[in-house]
């Protein structure tokens, strides 16, 4: 939530900031702003709306500066408007600050500052922080970095900030706690950003800041990092593996569509070097040292949010079937706020595309504090979750920029499948022929995904028929129940149609009352263990005149006779059906949203990286 970007060097800062903000816009798009420092003058441009609105707002005005900071906001404290847009300034007008996170104790600090004569303009928690730094700088007579350190010692909450000072155009100060911040090191220039996407085209050398660190980026003295206790830290410089093409739409109308179409490749990448058909083995190097712990585990807990939680539900079925380990899947937000029973024998698998989701991070801290072993499944390399877990496996799906998660889901399910297969084999619960059959089936999934994508024209036709439906139901059973939930989430988040996912058999315990001839019911009715039961559920819907859109196995004739529309997917083993059946549901949601004129990549009220609770 909220994207921040900053530049200090010899080049013009503004184009770098605007380009960076466009890359970070997935993090929030309620308002945007920049502060530019040149000739001892701080110029701030900010407004409600998207980065393009900011550009229109600035159009023609001076942007000359080689030091600047920029922000794109997802509103927490205070509505999205011009005044609440970042950057914010303190009373002296010398400082400008951008912030991603939440200052939880802003109220008492603000009260104290008002008492000391500070006048506030916005409703944000962020403005409190810049006033506090300003106040300390002046009252203590310290430099900016020290004022930031002293101020942060008083702050409770999460932050990634960058501050600049009109009186010192050679320096910018950055700090982080529980919100991500990356520093880019170029030739005589520095970048800061919420993630590496604004940096990658300028330099590959980056430092991922750690919690509690404060960085001083100085034209003459280079990069210096201290922690909040004033101890000197040695920056760990890493080389970025990110490629610029991965951040472009590549000819597609939207990132979401590109990412749906990338899934054959991204699933293959998730398996690369891990699935060895010739040797008949699965090797997940990242969790190798924890294999025995898995084999001995009495229980696995899986935590995540949204789509990652849905992937976790597929994981539950996989681990229970292949490795015979009981699994509980928890919303990270619920897990962290009750008093869950967690102990040293437990394995907690934390799933997160961004690796920054605040609730998932907090759930990890809680479980870690109780002695559990934490295994991460993250997409973003170097993200906070990837760093706080004991071990883990990256999904390697590549950057996911569309706010609605698509390729991240299939990559997460792929990694969970590999993990469950590996542990099942090691434990001896998944023996011989079955293990090898599943390996072969998994290896064939990318090609089958490619085949499913070829049904897009037919899916578009179906989308056109149902685009105006006010409600929709999604039904699945067994492995496809989480897919039904995911299909419903995709539809509601990007097209704003109310949708519910249900286990098909649960329908008769309530939701069946909703069915009439205007209700589209998406049913995953592939051949497998529950096929006959799902066919009965379809009959129940038809008897109430519901409109059935069924995802079926190629060659199915039974459901074809019952359903209003069928979308065929290739046959595969039951546990792998989620990887194929979710694809048509992603495409349906995408096309319905486009036909309804919705902003597919940036749906209202959402942000990709949910770094607030």
Closer of 305 and 449 to ligand F6R (Cβ): 305
Closer of 161 and 401 to ligand F6R (Cβ): 401
Q: Is 608 one of the catalytic residues? A: yes
Based on the shown chain and the rule CB under 6 A, indicate whether residue 582 belongs to the binding site for ligand F6R: no
- CB 490 to ligand F6R: min, Å: 7
As a whole number of angstroms, the distance between CA 556 and CA 477 comes to 18
Rounded to 10 deg, the angle between the 577-595 and 432-453 helix axes is 20
Site for ligand F6R in 148-177 (CB under 6 A): none
Based on the shown chain and the rule CB under 6 A, indicate whether residue 305 belongs to the binding site for ligand F6R: yes
- CB 378 to ligand F6R: min, Å: 8
As a whole number of angstroms, the distance between CA 318 and CA 324 comes to 9
Rounded to 10 deg, the angle between the 432-453 and 407-427 helix axes is 170
Based on the shown chain and the rule CB under 6 A, indicate whether residue 602 belongs to the binding site for ligand F6R: no
One residue of 357, 373, 553, 602 binding ligand F6R per CB under 6 A = 357
- CB 489 to ligand F6R: min, Å: 6
Contact 527, 571 (CB under 8 A): yes
| 70-78, 105-113, 300-308, 456-464 -> range binding ligand F6R (CB under 6 A) | 300-308
One residue of 76, 100, 270, 353 binding ligand F6R per CB under 6 A = 353
Based on the shown chain and the rule CB under 6 A, indicate whether residue 405 belongs to the binding site for ligand F6R: yes
Q: Give the three-state DSSP class for 248.
A: coil
Closer of 306 and 528 to ligand F6R (Cβ): 306
Based on the shown chain and the rule CB under 6 A, indicate whether residue 213 belongs to the binding site for ligand F6R: no
Length of the chain: 613
Going through 307-397 in order, the beta strands assigned E by DSSP cover 327-331, 347-352, 373-378, 391-394
- CB 353 to ligand F6R: min, Å: 4
How many residues touch ligand F6R (CB under 6 A)? 14
| 86-94, 118-126, 209-217, 351-359 -> range binding ligand F6R (CB under 6 A) | 351-359
- CB 405 to ligand F6R: min, Å: 3
Element holding 513 (H helix, E strand)? none
Closer of 57 and 387 to ligand F6R (Cβ): 387
Based on the shown chain and the rule CB under 6 A, indicate whether residue 354 belongs to the binding site for ligand F6R: yes
Based on the shown chain and the rule CB under 6 A, indicate whether residue 197 belongs to the binding site for ligand F6R: no
| Bridge partners of residue 567, in order along the sequence | 551
| 133-141, 301-309, 368-376, 567-575 -> range binding ligand F6R (CB under 6 A) | 301-309
- CB 68 to ligand F6R: min, Å: 28
Closer of 72 and 530 to ligand F6R (Cβ): 72
Based on the shown chain and the rule CB under 6 A, indicate whether residue 266 belongs to the binding site for ligand F6R: no
Based on the shown chain and the rule CB under 6 A, indicate whether residue 308 belongs to the binding site for ligand F6R: yes
Contact 270, 396 (CB under 8 A): yes
- CB 496 to ligand F6R: min, Å: 14
One residue of 17, 375, 610, 612 binding ligand F6R per CB under 6 A = 610
- CB 434 to ligand F6R: min, Å: 31
* Cα distances (Å, whole numbers) of residue 323 to 159, 319, 433: 40, 5, 15
One residue of 124, 197, 352, 553 binding ligand F6R per CB under 6 A = 352
476 is written with which tokens? Answer: 């699945």
Expressed in angstroms, the distance from the first to the final Cα of the chain is 11
Closer of 235 and 306 to ligand F6R (Cβ): 306
Closer of 43 and 393 to ligand F6R (Cβ): 393
| 221-229, 281-289, 347-355, 580-588 -> range binding ligand F6R (CB under 6 A) | 347-355
x/- mask, ligand F6R, residues 480-519, rule CB under 6 A, reads ---------x---x--------------------------
448, 492, 527, 608: which is the annotated catalytic residue? 608
| 90-98, 201-209, 240-248, 354-362 -> range binding ligand F6R (CB under 6 A) | 354-362
Closer of 290 and 590 to ligand F6R (Cβ): 590
Residue with tokens 């205070």: 78
Q: What is the dihedral of CA 411, 414, 419, 421, to 10 degrees?
A: 180
As a whole number of angstroms, the distance between CA 585 and CA 521 comes to 12
As a whole number of angstroms, the distance between CA 48 and CA 308 comes to 31
DSSP 258-303: HHHHTHHHHHHHHHTTTEETTTTEE--GGGGGGHHHHHH-S-EEEE
x/- mask, ligand F6R, residues 430-459, rule CB under 6 A, reads ------------------------------
| Spatial CA neighbour of 216 closest among 170, 271, 277, 151 | 170
- R_g of the chain, CA atoms, integer Å: 25
Alpha-helical (H) ranges within 121-197 are 126-140, 144-152
Closer of 47 and 380 to ligand F6R (Cβ): 380
Alpha-helical (H) ranges within 380-431 are 384-388, 407-427
One residue of 306, 482, 503, 578 binding ligand F6R per CB under 6 A = 306
2, 305, 378, 598: which is the annotated catalytic residue? 2
Q: Which residue is nearest to ligand F6R (CB)?
A: 306
As a whole number of angstroms, the distance between CA 192 and CA 198 comes to 9
Q: What is the dihedral of CA 157, 161, 166, 172, to 10 degrees?
A: 130
| 33-41, 95-103, 349-357, 593-601 -> range binding ligand F6R (CB under 6 A) | 349-357
* Cα distances (Å, whole numbers) of residue 482 to 405, 409, 476: 14, 11, 7
Contact 551, 525 (CB under 8 A): yes
Going through 453-536 in order, the beta strands assigned E by DSSP cover 471-476, 498-503, 520-525
Element holding 147 (H helix, E strand)? helix 144-152
Distance of CA 378 to the CA centre of its chain: 9
Contact 304, 355 (CB under 8 A): no
One residue of 360, 414, 417, 602 binding ligand F6R per CB under 6 A = 360
Q: Is 249 one of the catalytic residues? A: no
Closer of 416 and 541 to ligand F6R (Cβ): 416
| Bridge partners of residue 549, in order along the sequence | 522, 565
| Spatial CA neighbour of 80 closest among 103, 38, 47 | 47
Q: Which residues are catalytic?
A: 2, 608
Question: What residue ranges bind ligand F6R (CB under 6 A)?
Answer: 305-308, 352-354, 357, 360, 404-405, 489, 493, 610
């Amino acid at each position: 939530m909220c994207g921040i970007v900053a530049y200090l060097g010899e080049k013009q800062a503004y184009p770098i900031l605007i380009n960076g903000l466009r890359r970070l816009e997935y993090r929030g798009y309620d308002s945007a702003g920049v502060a530019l420092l040149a000739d001892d003058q701080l110029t701030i441009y900010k407004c409600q709306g998207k980065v393009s609105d900011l550009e229109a707002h600035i159009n023609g005005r001076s942007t000359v500066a080689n030091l600047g900071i920029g922000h794109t906001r997802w509103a927490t404290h205070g509505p999205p408007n011009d005044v609440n847009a970042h950057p914010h300034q303190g009373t002296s007008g010398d400082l400008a600050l951008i912030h991603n996170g939440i200052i939880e104790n802003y109220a008492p600090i603000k009260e104290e500052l008002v008492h000391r004569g500070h006048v506030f303009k916005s409703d944000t928690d962020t403005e409190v922080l810049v006033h506090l730094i300003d106040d300390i700088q002046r009252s203590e007579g310290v430099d900016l970095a020290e004022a930031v350190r002293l101020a942060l010692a008083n702050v409770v909450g999460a932050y990634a900030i960058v501050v600049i000072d009109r009186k010192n155009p050679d320096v910018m100060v950055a700090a982080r706690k529980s919100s991500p911040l990356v520093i880019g090191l170029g030739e005589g220039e520095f970048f800061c950003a919420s993630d590496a996407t604004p940096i990658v085209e300028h330099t590959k050398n980056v430092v991922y800041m750690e919690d509690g660190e404060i960085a001083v980026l100085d034209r003459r003295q280079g990069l210096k990092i201290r922690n909040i206790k004033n101890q000197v830290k040695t920056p760990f410089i890493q080389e970025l593996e990110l490629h610029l093409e991965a951040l472009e739409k590549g000819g597609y109308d939207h990132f979401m569509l590109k990412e749906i179409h990338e899934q054959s490749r991204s699933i293959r990448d998730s398996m690369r070097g891990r699935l060895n058909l010739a040797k008949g083995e699965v090797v997940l190097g990242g969790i190798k040292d924890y294999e025995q712990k898995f084999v001995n585990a009495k229980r696995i807990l899986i935590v995540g949010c949204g789509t990652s939680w849905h992937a976790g539900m597929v994981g539950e079925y996989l681990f229970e079937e292949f490795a015979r380990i009981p699994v509980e899947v928890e919303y990270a937000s619920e897990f962290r706020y009750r008093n869950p029973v967690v102990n040293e024998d437990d394995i907690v698998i934390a799933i997160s595309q961004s690796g920054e989701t605040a609730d998932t991070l907090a759930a990890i801290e809680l479980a870690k504090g109780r002695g559990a072993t934490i295994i991460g499944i993250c997409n973003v390399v170097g993200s906070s979750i990837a760093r706080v877990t004991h071990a883990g496996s990256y999904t390697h799906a590549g950057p996911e920029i569309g706010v609605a998660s698509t390729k991240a889901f299939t990559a997460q399910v792929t990694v969970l499948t590999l993990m469950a297969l590996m542990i099942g084999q090691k434990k001896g619960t998944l023996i011989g022929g079955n293990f090898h059959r599943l390996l072969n089936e998994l290896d064939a999934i990318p090609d089958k995904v490619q085949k499913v994508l070829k049904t897009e024209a037919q899916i578009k036709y179906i989308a056109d028929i149902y685009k105006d439906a006010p409600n929709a139901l999604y039904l699945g059973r067994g492995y496809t129940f989480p897919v039904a939930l995911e299909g419903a989430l995709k539809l509601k988040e990007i097209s704003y149609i109310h949708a519910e996912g249900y286990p098909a058999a649960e329908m008769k315990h309530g939701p069946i009352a909703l069915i009439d001839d205007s209700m589209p019911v998406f049913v995953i009715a592939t051949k497998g263990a529950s096929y006959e039961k799902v066919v009965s559920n379809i009959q129940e819907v038809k008897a109430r005149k519901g409109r059935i859109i069924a995802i079926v196995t190629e060659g199915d004739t039974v459901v074809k006779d019952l359903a209003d529309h069928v979308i065929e997917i290739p046959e595969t083993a039951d546990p792998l059906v989620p990887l194929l059946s979710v694809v048509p549901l992603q495409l349906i949601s995408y096309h319905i949203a486009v036909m309804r004129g919705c902003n597919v990549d940036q749906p209202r009220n959402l942000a990709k990286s949910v770094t607030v609770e």
